[in-house]
Amino acid sequence: MALPGSMQKRLAWFLTLTMLVLIVLAGRIAWIQFGEGQHLSARVQEQLRENWVIQSPRGTIYDRNGQQLAVSSLNKSLYADPQEIKDIDETASLLAPIVGVSPAAIKERLSGGARFVWIKRTLEPEAAKAVTALIKERELTGLGFIEESKRYYPNDTLAAQVLGFVGTDDVGLEGLEMSLDKVIKGEKRKQAINTDSYGIPIFQSIFAFLPEKRGRSIYLTIDSNIQFVVERSLDAAMAATGAKAGTVIIMQPKTGEILAMASRPTYNPNQFERYGTEAMKNRAVSIVYEPGSTFKAVVAAAALQEGVVRPDERFVDKGYVEISGRRIKNWSGESYGAISFLDIIKNSINTGFVEIGLRLGAAKLTNFARAFGFGKATGVELPGEEEGLLFEPKEMRDSDTATMSIGQSIAVTPLQLTAAIAAIANDGVLLKPRIIKEYRNEDGTLAEVFDPVAVRQAISPETAKVLAGMLEKVVSEGGGKLAAVKGYRFAGKTGTAEKLNADGRGYSEGHYIASFAGFGPVEDPQVAALIVLDDPSGMYYGGTIAAPVFSDIMSQVMRVLNIRPDDNSYVLPPPKPGNEQPVPAQAKPVAPTEVPPGHVLVPALTGCSIREAGEALQSLGLSYVPIGTGVAVKQSITPYTPVKPGAEIIVYFESVNTRP
């Protein structure tokens, strides 16, 4: 049956339009395929790929002798694709005890809907091996490893505040790791990975890849042997004195290089997350305190340089002085009568220093303080350095000048004070403290060397020599006798300062900071040092508790640096009369003809500190009973007598005439 004409026309038009549409579509497909195909394919790939920034290992931090202090290693990080895990509950419970993450935390990560999640970053090698064995044994799916860099500190707490630590994402968070982050960091490189339409990494497209170029290695001025000596002695001092905190700095006066820098309390940067901010604080640069009598060395330097006092000048001390209605007394409360300028320094007499400070005046006293580096950050490479606090001379009253002359009403950092005492040892030249010696490239070639930087000539070499001789008398005859180092000539100044209240208003009654700053050997100074013990319990004078720490450290540092002693330079203060005559400190052990089996020889202890005597006796298994304080003057059993281990040795100690 034939279709009506009108219907035939409509059908023809429909077929024609259909053919035209098909032709257009075919043409468009052909254009997309052959004309735009390459461009569109690239756009799809771009949309389904993501660039990850991958960081190569950080450079190593060494001490001045090439000992590793901080090093990076490649560790496996465990990740998962939850959609490929058969049993999330089982996987979480199996992994938890190995990786140290709770089953609940792992389950939460695996149940979040993402195709890629971290289970544990930078696993220890033993844990990574255990996970690998578990995957194989239980045929677990959906788990894999990526190699990442992890920072290690092989000496644990040694120089912790100096080194700092690195966070999970390879960012330095404290210490040199933070301040030198850009130098230490290795090469960054972008790594393309495939993602799904939501931008989530596709499991099989993630590669274990790290750029090859590490960051620069850093060689510090720190000597790890001296650092160990310092930290061991500081720990012993903290235990013996009950101090709440402590700081020790050792510096080379002629170069400004810091050989050791220790703070207490401390922490282990390998486990930094277990500690609070107080333990991480580098007290050598980040705290300020009133220096007390150690600052009198700067006042004496200014007075000698300006000629307002002569080394042989005589003063009359009545025990106190009235300034602007304020009475300032000597630390001992005593009146010394007619005394010399040398006696004022040796015995740290407040009234004498007040008179000298007033002769100088506020402007000159403050200018010399600035010349020695106070009131401004030293610029050392460590983060968090404070500037300290000085008066503006035009705002100072006579009472302010008087208190500044005895080390009060100003605030300094331990590093500033160390640099100042080192300047006196260095013929009056103030050097910038340095803790970085050099940078080296990955192949060991030298990249950059840091030379000594002279800041200014604070006082003349002649003044520095005169003052050094006077400060030597502090150690040999004055309040710093307990700082004496057998066989060497050392100079220094003791300090005892009241602690400021936390709000900076007034002083905290019964709380002190004891310190000792010194340098030596005097004839050719190789080291300058500062000991600070914060808030000790019981005895708190710097000459009593900080000076012995200086002696202990310096006696060991001289051996580390191989500096030969001058046998005629040390004279033990004569003991008070007693029934037993002590053996001279220089006497050498003389073994008897025969030592009975099972016996040991009692050592000669005269001249030893309480700690030195204890270590000597305990090393031999002998019982130790100390009586008194100061230095050993006699002992209950004659030296070199054979005794059985466990025998009781009573050692009598007497204090020399100390001053703060």
DSSP 8-class letter at 595: P
- For residues 76 and 145, the answer to whether their CB atoms sit within 8 Å is yes
In 143-187 the beta strands, taken as DSSP E runs, fall at 143-152
**Distance, CA of 352 to CA of 164 (rounded, Å):** 44
User: What is the Cα–Cα distance from 363 to 117, expressed in whole angstroms?
Assistant: 65
**Is 72 among the residues known to form the active site?**
no
Stated length of the chain? 660
Compute the distance between CA of residue 147 and CA of residue 595 in angstroms, rounded to an integer: 61
Fill in the amino acid letter for 179. Answer: S
Q: Give the three-class secondary structure for 11.
A: helix
Residue 508 · residue 498 · CB < 8 Å: yes
Gap between the Cα atoms of 501 and 535, Å rounded = 12
Per-residue tokens: 96: 């938890």
DSSP letter at 453? Answer: -
The answer to whether the peptide bond before residue 154 is cis (omega within 30 degrees of 0) is: no
**Catalytic residue, candidates 293, 348, 405, 555:** 293
Do 283 and 263 touch, CB atoms closer than 8 A? Answer: yes
From 184, 181, 261, select the one nearest 221 (Cα to Cα): 261
Relative orientation angle of helices 610-619 and 547-560, to the nearest 10 degrees: 60
Query: Residue holding tokens 């703060």?
Result: 660
Other CB atoms within 10 Å distance of the CB of residue 236: 15
List C-alpha distances in Å: 289 to 241, 416, 521, 542, 568.
19, 11, 28, 15, 38
**In the numeric block, which tokens belong to residue 604?**
């000669």
**Are 312 and 281 a contacting pair, CB within 8 Å?**
no
CA 524 to chain CA centroid, nearest Å: 27
Question: Which are the catalytic amino acids?
Answer: 293
